[in-house]
Every structure is written in structure tokens, then in C-alpha cells.
Amino acid sequence: MRRVCTFPEYKTSNIPVKFKPASKFEAFILNRSTIFQKSFKGDAHSLSYVVLAVKAGRIYTPNSLIRNGIIVLENGKISYVGDDFDKAKDATILKFDDGICTPGFIDVHVHGGGGYDFADGSLEAFSEVCRYHVRGGTTSLLATILSSPIDYTLKILEAFKRSFNASKDGAEILGLHLEGPFLNPDMHGAHPVELLQTPSRELVEAFLNYTDIIKRITIAPEVSGGVEAVKAFSSKNVIVSIGHSNAPYEVVDKAYNAGLRHTTHLYNALGVSFKRGAYRVPGALESILALGGIMAEIIADGRHVHPILIHLAVKAKGFRRLCLVTDAMRAAGMSDGVYKLGSNAYGSNAIVKDGVSYTVDMRSFASTTISMVDTVRFMKSIGYPTRIALLMASTIPAKLLDISSRKGFLAPGFDGDLVVLDREFKVLLTTVRGRVVYAENRDFLGLS
């Protein structure tokens, strides 16, 4: 059996890979987890020599599949991927002979988990949500804020600026995703309709002061000033996503030309084709499917979207333009009950029954309680190959966020973000920047 099989897409030769060791100070900050201290070489002042290796039965890089391979993590980065075990001779080796190793999952749409919501705006909330989601294999994410009063959102932005990635044992926050408030009131879904706004120049300017941390904003381009707002944000390198929208084709096309690049939960809260007189014209959904340059995300939880619709999206756009997201809320990892989607102060109530989150009238879903690994497992269950499902959860979102030179691949020089799954796609191990942040069974640790 060939141990290394290379897939045609994503040739490593296209990826700039240069291994740059972190400074000793950075290594100290990155590596202070107690689990990781098992692999310290030398004294506490030489932490930059810490080496950890993960051995797995199958490693999806994901441009190749390596059987019985090893990944060496040093100073927060990957220093080796392959089947030469000599490269790990100085490392503490964590062995997962039946394990599937993949780049860490990148969730570009997540509100909360473990009882907290990013919109709570506190340091504790940021840390706890990130700590919760490593259990599901998420290694980095966009902290998503539900529509909130403008003053409150600005306060969150300030708080977020101060405490960016305060937690060192959770997923890395890559930036913020404002889901609203510039949405169409007719398509508000679980967003409090009274909090939606039209994007006046003044409001847009207020948010533009924070484009160093706002990485993405969801806008309904058909609202008054919508296309101008798309242009204003995209010109500042904020990824603009169409969502909670019933824009007709002409408006979607204008927004596309103004810089629209992504779609918020494809099929959910998006208008469909309609009749203009006797003539049937494309709605937001068909326009997005038709415009090849627009990427999209899917809540692949087996509830929000029928598998046939997922197949249709893959046919129309190709899996290289589709990301898997959780859109999870604070009830993820909690028992059934009533929870706030969004902040405790301004969010909407959601009823969680049998682990499924509904609006209070129980007629719609309100966010989810899933993890990224659940979306991968679901894609497998409806017929997608493991590699494609893993790509849609890691490599493609990295491409969307324009960080695919450092995340979304297992290759030397890339961040040490990886996940090991068992055969049933249960998470066994998660590392973020080379640190073990989650281990399902601590007995796995220290076996070398």
C-alpha cells in the first residue's frame, strides 16, 4: 500500500512555507498549558525547544493522505509532516494509531457555546466560548455578534480590542463577524427586528473605525444604502456577506460588483425566485448560486438544510466555495431550557428542546447547539468523502479569510492547529498553535 497519496488540488508548491521559530517570549505565552509541560526540554527558560509530535493512522494534510505518519509541532508551528519518525526523536509523541488527523476546523459563524455568547462582550464570555469549541475540533473562529443596539455593539468592539485572544487554552479568535444590524426586517429570523438599522453613512463610519478587528459583516444589500455599505466595508478588507436578505438579482449583482464575497447560512433567511408580473426572476438564493465568485457557508446540522439542497449548492458552486459552519449559540454543550441568542441584555429568547434550538413560537430554528465536528460527520453521512468534508471545515474557510498561508493545511511553517478524530469522528485531541487544548482521554498524553 502506498503510504502517501497526493491529491491533485492544493499543491504544496503553491503554498509559501518557511518555518520561522517563535521568539522565546512568544513560545512561553503559547506553551503555558500544563499538559504541554510534559514535553519541556530543558529548564523553564528554554521553552522554545519544546517539541510535541502527533502520530496518526491517517493524516489528511488535506492535499495528501499520509498513512501512519507523524506531525511535529515546535514553537507553535508545524515543523514536519510525513512518515520519517526520526524527525520526532526529540519529541513527546502522542499516538493515535487509528486516528484521523486533520487541520483544525475554522468556524466563520459562531455566536456562543458552554453557556456564553460573544455578544455578552465580557472577557469571560470570549474565553469560555473559545474554550468550549475546541472540544468539537474548532481551532480558530470568527466571534459572531447578533444584531444589538449600536452603542452596545461599539462597547463590545472596544472590549474585544482590549481582550483579543485573552484565553490561551481555547480556539483562536481571528476577528469579529457582525451579523447585522444592516439586515432586512422581513428576513430577520432570530434577530430582534426592532434592533435592525439601515446603514446610514454615520453608522457605517462608526463601524469602519474598527476594521482592524471586524473581519466580516453580514449585510442585506437591498436595504437603503446597502450597496454603498458593501462597498465601504469591502474596500477596508472586511469580508462582506449577504444574509437575512431578499434582494433580487439586480441588487445582488450590484453588491457583487461592490465587493460582496460571501453568503451567510445559504438557504436560511434568504429570498428565493419570485414573479414580476408573469415573469419569474431570480431571488437572492438563485443569484448567489449563479454568481461563481460569491462563496457561501452551510449549517450542516441535518436540520437547517435538506441534503439535496447541499448537493445542489456543491453542484452549483463547487465544494471549494463552500464552508461548513455551526452558527452555534450559548446553549451548545448545555442542557435543554430557555436561553438568550445574542447578549443576555438584548438577545432573543430561544427554546432548546432535545438539543435543538427554536424560536419561541417553535416554528423556526434559532441558531444551533452543534460543533464543527458534527458538521463534518453529517457531510460524511450524506455521502461526501472524508477529505472533502475536512476541506470544507478547514482549508476552505482559511481561503475565505485569506489566511491560507498559515492555517487550513498541515504543512511545515503552518500554525500548529490540528485535530485528531476517531473512526466515528469523535474528537480525541485538539491543538492550537502547538498547544494541547483538548484531549478526550488524558491517558493518551505522555506516551512516547
CB of 149 to Zn ion, least distance (A): 18
Question: Which CB contacts under 8 angstroms, 24+ apart, belong to 230-236?
Answer: 230/255, 230/258, 230/259, 230/260, 231/258, 231/259, 232/204, 232/208, 233/204, 233/207, 233/208, 233/259, 234/258, 234/259, 234/260, 234/261, 235/259, 236/208, 236/211
Indicate the SS3 state at residue 116: strand
CA distances from 271 to 106, 254, 274, 286 (A): 27, 17, 9, 9
| Shortest distance, position 177 Cβ to Zn ion, whole Å | 8
**Smallest distance, Zn ion to C-beta of residue 277, A:** 35
Smallest distance from Zn ion to CB 109, Å: 6
Rank residues 179 and 222 by Cβ distance to Zn ion and give the closer one.
Answer: 179
Q: How far is the CB of 111 from Zn ion (least distance, A)?
A: 6
The verdict on 327 binding Zn ion (CB under 5 A) reads: yes
What is the torsion angle, in degrees rounded to the nearest 10, for the CA atoms of residue 105, residue 106, residue 108 and residue 111?
Answer: 60
- Residue closer to Zn ion, measured from CB, 286 or 327: 327
Give 10 or 160: the residue with its C-beta nearer to Zn ion: 160
Q: Which is nearer to Zn ion, 169 or 327 (CB)?
A: 327
CB of 221 to Zn ion, least distance (A): 18
Kindly state the DSSP code that residue 23 receives in the 8-state scheme.
Answer: P
Using CB under 5 A as the binding rule, whether residue 107 contacts Zn ion is answered as no
Based on CB atoms, which residue is closest to Zn ion, 128 or 327? 327
Closer Cβ to Zn ion, 189 or 434, answer by number? 189
| Alpha-carbon distances of 284 from 256, 273, 291, 370, rounded to whole Å | 12, 7, 11, 26
Q: Which is nearer to Zn ion, 180 or 226 (CB)?
A: 180
State how far the Cα of 244 lies from the Cα of 200, in Å rounded to an integer: 18
Report the nearest approach of Zn ion to the CB of residue 399 (Å).
21
**301 part of the interface to Zn ion, by CB under 5 A:** no
CB contact at 8 A, 76 and 32 = no
Q: Which CB atom, from 64 or from 268, has the smaller least distance to Zn ion?
A: 268
Q: Whole-angstrom Cα distance, residue 176 to residue 159?
A: 12
Smallest distance from Zn ion to CB 179, Å: 5
Give the number of other Cβ atoms within 10 Å of residue 444's Cβ.
17
Q: Measured from the CB of residue 250, what is the shortest distance to Zn ion in angstroms?
A: 26
Among candidate residues 89, 24, 92, the one with its CA nearest the CA of residue 431: 92
Beta strand 51-60 pairing with 92-103: parallel
Stretch that binds Zn ion, among 193-201, 326-334, 372-380, 411-419 (CB under 5 A): 326-334
Shortest gap between Cβ of 103 and Zn ion (angstroms)?
A: 24
Q: Which residue is nearest to Zn ion (CB)?
A: 327
Q: Rounded to the nearest 10 degrees, how much is the dihedral formed by the CA atoms of 199, 239, 430, 6?
A: 160
In angstroms, what CA-CA distances link 234 with 112, 208, 228, 362? Answer: 26, 10, 10, 36
Set of cell numbers at residue 134: 475546541
Using CB under 5 A as the criterion, what x/- string covers residues 169-188 for binding Zn ion?
A: ----------x---------
CB closer to Zn ion, 119 vs 429 = 119
Q: How far is CA 346 from CA 191, 300, 337, in A?
A: 10, 27, 18
CB of 368 to Zn ion, least distance (A): 9
Q: Which is nearer to Zn ion, 246 or 367 (CB)?
A: 367
Total residues contacting Zn ion by CB under 5 A comes to 2
- DSSP SS3 for 220: coil
Closest CB to Zn ion among 287 and 368? 368
CA distance 148 to 312: 34
Residue with cell 493545511: 409
Determine the Cα–Cα distance for residues 204 and 198; give it in Å rounded to an integer.
10
DSSP lists the bridge partners of residue 58 as 67, 100
Contact region with Zn ion (CB under 5 A), list: 246-254, 295-303, 320-328, 396-404: 320-328
* Contacting positions for Zn ion (CB under 5 A): 179, 327
